[in-house]
Amino acid sequence: GQQLNQSPQSMFIQEGEDVSMNCTSSSIFNTWLWYKQDPGEGPVLLIALYKAGELTSNGRLTAQFGITRKDSFLNISASIPSDVGIYFCAGAYYGQNFVFGPGTRLSVLP
């Protein structure tokens, strides 16, 4: 089936630093989603993107729908300890189920 690649797999950053991660697909999508998962919990939707080139923010988080429709990017500015978790991207084409990436594990050092 379809697979998404997420980069990096994991990252350790200092509190206050900015974070960038991305997600790529071999197929085009018309919707990209970004989720965050805290330990022991289910994923929670952060940002949804519906148009190529779209840039959407949610507080300190900003995500972009790639122009090629095969990638998406998530940036976190001025990281804080509660940003720790696993970040998943998910993509779907019209009428299809969402496909999820393997996740980027973020650790924030005080």
Partner 1 sequence: NAGVTQTPKFQVLKTGQSMTLQCAQDMNHEYMSWYRQDPGMGLRLIHYSVGAGITDQGEVPNGYNVSRSTTEDFPLRLLSAAPSQTSVYFCASSPTGGTSAGYTFGSGTRLTVV
d(C-alpha 93, C-alpha 104), whole Å: 22
Looking at the DSSP bridge assignments, the partners of residue 55 are 64
The one among 28, 45, 55, 78 contacting partner 1 by CB under 8 A? 45
Stretch that binds partner 1, among 31-39, 54-62, 64-72, 75-83 (CB under 8 A): 31-39
Task: Give the number of residues written for the chain.
Answer: 110
Torsion of CA 77, 79, 84, 88, to 10 degrees: 10
Q: Answer yes or no whether residue 101 interacts with partner 1 by CB under 8 A.
A: yes
The site for partner 1 (CB under 8 A) is made up of 1, 4, 9, 30-31, 33, 35, 40-45, 48, 50, 88, 90, 92-98, 100-103
